[in-house]
Structure 1
């Protein structure tokens, strides 16, 4: 099996790559529903419509499959999110508008990259062994950069008087991320009653009505 897997890894054919991506998406859905600890390769194989032995053609273990979800997919997602966030913070807009755009960008990313980003939040990077994998450390660094951008925008708002100064920017940041990231527990693409756009509007109204300085 290991020889077969090594051969498969060098296979760049469209069919192999398409199957591998399909398997990753299927696995993400199973991990999303059952968590890393609760999900098994048998669960993933059954959902994928194959047997457990066929999974080993692509990945050596459940952990390797799980880590591939982040390494193969989410690194690019985080890069794009950071690029957009850097553009937002560099704009001439006021802090409340920058915050609105940052929330909009995050919610849009969650929806477009479902369930991968939500899985990233749900599992809290616990299985990535950041101390031993350079790409995992890079992902943590990118996540930290996005959080720093939000803090910088909040501080800008406090400094220019558009946001209240009696609440620390750290606490405001935690409140904002808590509200946005908690959507991993309930928001699904295609929901009839609420979608990412409606959530963005509601979150921004609730947060900014409390954080903005009254004129």
Structure 2
């Protein structure tokens, strides 16, 4: 037991030194590890993934993972803390620019759908992990940055809700369907793509998916006039 504790303590010190050093090589390897881990988490889920699975896919041993992260949970949380916070900021900035445009509600919604799916494709598979996993169960919502992510997600959803309401007020979207239900239907289509849409697919990409979703959604959501 003393040997194991000493070894763990030594690894912790080396990890801290490497993180403080922030050398390009260390950071590049860390980013490669995060991307590899994201793929494994996407395939097996958080509970079904082990550090051995990640190490094997990364082409190293489990002990080497500890040079970068102290645990599977720390590694998983880094995917969101290091990457997705910036992605959410970018999505909100683009969405706010769209909302401020002179487009009608339908035009704005179409651009919002395109932005969301393009972001999913560009930041694959990190965004999909956020959709796939239960953030409450993983206690991400207990951290300050986790709460900030939840707030940013809610902000994006509110922008979509406001645009749907604009469409109802303009008379271009159905009044008999509650705006909240419209939003759930739209997000349901978009978010379910985490099960099947993958960059590099030969027949379907984000652009084609956005066009198809908009055609289906607006044909059903539009008034007859």
Structure 1: distance between partners of 2:216 and 2:188: 13
* CA displacement at 1:131 relative to structure 2: 4.7
Structure 1: distance between partners of 2:80 and 2:60: 23
* CA displacement at 1:197 relative to structure 2: 0.7
Structure 2: distance between partners of 1:188 and 1:127: 26
Structure 1: distance between partners of 2:123 and 2:101: 26
Aligned to 1:155: 165
Give 5+ residue unaligned stretches, structure 1: none
Structure 1: distance between partners of 2:141 and 2:153: 16
Give 5+ residue unaligned stretches, structure 2: 1-10
Structure 1 residue runs of 4+, over 3 Å off? none
* CA displacement at 1:62 relative to structure 2: 0.1
Is residue 177 of structure 2 the alignment partner of residue 174 of structure 1?
no
User: Is the 8 Å Cα contact of residues 161 and 180 (structure 2) preserved in structure 1?
Assistant: yes
CA RMSD of aligned residues (A): 0.9
Out of 107, 127, 130, which is 1:117 matched to?
A: 127
User: Is the 8 Å Cα contact of residues 96 and 212 (structure 1) preserved in structure 2?
Assistant: no
Structure 2: distance between partners of 1:9 and 1:148: 37
Partner SS state of residue 166, structure 1: coil
Aligned length in residues:
215
* CA displacement at 1:115 relative to structure 2: 0.4
TM-score of the aligned structures, taking structure 2 as reference length? 0.93
Give runs of aligned pairs for residues 1-215 of structure 1, distance below 5 A.
Answer: 1-215=11-225
Partner SS state of residue 10, structure 1: helix
Seen in structure 2, the aligned counterparts of structure 1 residues 75 and 131 have a Cα distance that, compared at 3 Å, is closer
